[in-house]
């Protein structure tokens, strides 16, 4: 019992900062889109100071490029809680592990909380590693290598021998044909008949010899194959045995993750994902900071008050993670788990499901009988979403009831304001969309970046694809990403910000936002970009200019809608 109390005392962290003036929130944090509650900001600041000062473990988070042992940056989390004594403090956690060091004190343990050293997982991994060593030894053994070599050489030699004999047969066939032609009218009929009979017998003889040769070669090849395949079958059995061991161990590991919720109900990792028709949980599921924090609180009868997670260290090369910035919980791994863990709790509303644009007007910049252009306000969807139906498309459909075909020609992110083209007929829609597809439409955006950049102009080429672990976020991927190209020109640098014009040559999802924020781009997120930077009153990105060919008249159209920032 003393050990449990000691662990609780080490992990439950009282605030060093005075917090008496900060009221407790009415509802718990919605984990997938939030602004950190003031108590979480204080807790995070104290944790960051602890990370800098502590000497119990070493991890440079990628700050020292010469340290090859460090794992790079890591996500940390804080959970403000009220303990059984009514005290307000916080719990601390990190995602995954910190190198191979023993679990550091003052942090909540892993949910499966396997003991160090001899546990079922480590024993299972040792067995799998032994099988792996046996497989590698067999694959590289002199006997198997020799058997494979003899099998391959015999196949090649037999193929060459058969082809050589076939070539000889073709040569003899041509000689027989020439002989028949040469003697057909020069010897007696009886003599010519005897000659033909002799030549036919020779043909049958060689065909018989070929059959014998093929049969002999097949026998030799099969004999060598049997020897080699005996090794291959042995190898296959070992590989299958390792796979079975791995699957059994993985299932046992999944079942060792038992997640509590506020009602004290437990669910395994496997059952949580199976309920969503996901056969196998993604790698690392259950090891993120958020599930660890909540599980420990529920297990020890602490009341969760508010939660936040932040990135500490150098950004990964693919996703965007800024040192010290707050980020929501990941969706692919955490959303199914947290749906169970937070079930029954009173959460903040999901901001992504709140329609805050109903009072915002949609201004018409240009209109004729064939098409129009509108200036979309930030916060309004281009097309209806699953939950929010108010959008440019629905407003246009209500206004232009006689229009045929889809109205909205292209899209802007909900958080982006600016010009959108609307077609009043299917034919006009096809024409304008073809201009976008063929990249003949010229576009200019204006943005405000969160820092002053060094370059005044340039071109960014970074391939992008969706982040499968955290939709709809994008990531840089040189293997599977689609090329995205953006030209930029700085307008002004002042007060620690950069006002910039952006000219996208391609139209990838979140292209401008990623190219601004990513370290391989300008490394300066757009002000207010809640996905790739820091949330503000709005995202300062505006589609300001469009140049295109009128779909009916063919006239060159130049439309401008100045940004209101």
Which are the catalytic amino acids? 413
Task: Identify the CA nearest to 459 among candidates 515, 386, 536.
Answer: 515
Range 477-484, long-range pairs (CB < 8 A, 24+ positions): 477/318, 482/506, 482/508, 484/460, 484/508, 484/511, 484/514, 484/515
Going 281 to 282 to 287 to 292, the CA torsion angle's sign is negative
**Would you call the peptide bond into 498 cis, given omega within 30 degrees of 0 as the criterion?**
no
Task: Identify the CA nearest to 76 among candidates 44, 46, 99.
Answer: 44
The neighbour count for residue 517, using CB atoms within 10 Å, is: 23
Confirm if 258 and 272 have CB atoms less than 8 A apart: no
| One-character DSSP codes across 426-492 | HHHHHHHHHHHHTT-SEEEEEEEESS--S-SEEEEE--EEE-TTSTT-EEE-TTTPBP-EEEEEEEE
Task: Identify the CA nearest to 522 among candidates 481, 491, 488.
Answer: 488
Q: How far, in Å, CA of 271 to CA of 279, rounded?
A: 9
Query: Pairing relation of β-strands 88-94 and 74-82?
Result: antiparallel
Confirm if 544 and 445 have CB atoms less than 8 A apart: yes
Q: How far, in Å, CA of 95 to CA of 327, rounded?
A: 13
Q: How far, in Å, CA of 310 to CA of 41, rounded?
A: 10
Confirm if 499 and 490 have CB atoms less than 8 A apart: yes
Determine if residue 379 is left, alpha or beta; phi over 0 gives left, psi from -120 to 50 gives alpha, anything else beta.
left
Backbone angles phi, psi at 196, to 5 degrees: -60, -40
Q: How far, in Å, CA of 388 to CA of 414, rounded?
A: 11
Task: Identify the CA nearest to 304 among candidates 77, 534, 470, 103.
Answer: 77
For the record, the structure tokens of 97 come out as 């592990």
Q: How far, in Å, CA of 435 to CA of 243, rounded?
A: 52
Backbone angles phi, psi at 371, to 5 degrees: -160, 175
Q: Up-side HSE of residue 103: CA atoms within 13 Å toward CB?
A: 20
Confirm if 392 and 374 have CB atoms less than 8 A apart: yes
The neighbour count for residue 77, using CB atoms within 10 Å, is: 31
Backbone angles phi, psi at 445, to 5 degrees: -110, 155
Going 157 to 159 to 162 to 163, the CA torsion angle's sign is negative
Those residues with Cβ within 8 angstroms of residue 356's Cβ, 6 or more apart along the chain or in another chain: 379
Those residues with Cβ within 8 angstroms of residue 495's Cβ, 6 or more apart along the chain or in another chain: none
């Amino acid at each position: 019992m003393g050990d449990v109390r000691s662990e609780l005392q080490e992990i439950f962290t009282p605030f060093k900062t005075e917090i008496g003036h900060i009221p407790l929130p009415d509802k718990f944090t919605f984990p997938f889109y939030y602004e950190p509650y003031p108590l979480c900001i204080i807790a995070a600041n104290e944790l960051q100071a602890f990370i800098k000062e502590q000497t119990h473990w070493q991890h440079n988070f990628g700050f020292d490029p010469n340290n090859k042992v460090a794992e790079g940056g890591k996500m940390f989390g804080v959970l403000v809680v009220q303990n059984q004594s009514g005290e307000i403090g916080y719990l601390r956690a990190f995602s995954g592990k910190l190198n191979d060091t023993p679990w550091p004190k003052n942090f909540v343990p892993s949910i499966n909380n396997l003991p160090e050293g001899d546990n079922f997982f480590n024993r299972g991994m040792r067995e799998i590693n032994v099988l792996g060593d046996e497989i590698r030894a067999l694959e590289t053994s002199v006997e198997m290598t020799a058997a494979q070599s003899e099998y391959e050489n015999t196949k090649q030699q037999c193929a060459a021998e058969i082809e050589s004999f076939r070539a000889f047969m073709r040569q003899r066939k041509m000689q027989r044909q020439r002989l028949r032609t040469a003697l057909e009218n020069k010897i007696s009929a009886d003599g010519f008949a005897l000659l033909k009979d002799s030549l036919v017998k020779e043909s049958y003889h060689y065909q018989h010899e070929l059959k014998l040769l093929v049969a002999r070669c097949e026998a030799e090849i099969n004999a060598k194959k049997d020897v080699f395949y005996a090794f291959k079958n042995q190898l296959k059995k070992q590989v299958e045995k390792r796979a079975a061991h791995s699957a059994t161990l993985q299932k046992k590991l999944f079942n060792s993750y038992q997640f509590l919720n506020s009602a004290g109900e437990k669910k395994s990792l496997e059952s949580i994902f199976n309920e969503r028709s996901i056969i196998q949980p993604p790698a690392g599921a259950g090891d993120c900071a958020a599930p660890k924090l909540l599980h420990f609180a529920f297990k020890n009868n602490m009341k969760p008050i508010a939660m936040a997670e932040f990135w500490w260290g150098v950004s990964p090369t693919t996703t965007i993670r800024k040192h010290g910035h707050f980020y929501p919980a990941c969706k692919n791994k955490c959303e199914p788990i947290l749906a169970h863990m937070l079930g029954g709790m009173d959460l903040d509303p999901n901001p992504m499901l709140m329609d805050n644009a109903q009072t915002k007007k949609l201004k018409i910049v240009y209109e004729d009988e064939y098409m129009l252009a509108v200036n979309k306000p930030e916060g309004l969807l281009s097309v209806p979403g699953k939950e929010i139906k108010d959008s440019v498309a629905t407003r246009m459909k209500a206004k232009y009831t006689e229009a045929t075909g889809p109205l909205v020609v292209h899209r802007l992110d909900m958080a982006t304001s600016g010009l959108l083209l609307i077609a009043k007929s299917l034919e006009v829609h096809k024409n304008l969309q073809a201009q976008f597809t063929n990249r003949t439409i010229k576009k200019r955006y204006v943005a405000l970046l969160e820092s002053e950049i060094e370059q005044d102009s340039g071109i960014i080429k970074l391939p992008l694809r969706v982040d499968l672990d955290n939709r709809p976020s994008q990531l840089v991927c040189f293997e599977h990403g689609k090329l995205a190209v953006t030209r930029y020109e700085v307008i002004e640098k002042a007060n620690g910000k950069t006002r910039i014009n952006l000219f996208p040559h391609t139209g990838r999802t979140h292209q401008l936002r990623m190219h601004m924020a990513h370290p391989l781009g300008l490394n300066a997120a757009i002000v207010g970009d809640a996905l790739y930077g820091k949330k503000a009153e709005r995202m300062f990105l505006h589609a300001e200019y469009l140049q295109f060919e009128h779909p009916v008249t063919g006239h060159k159209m130049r439309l401008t809608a100045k940004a209101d920032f």
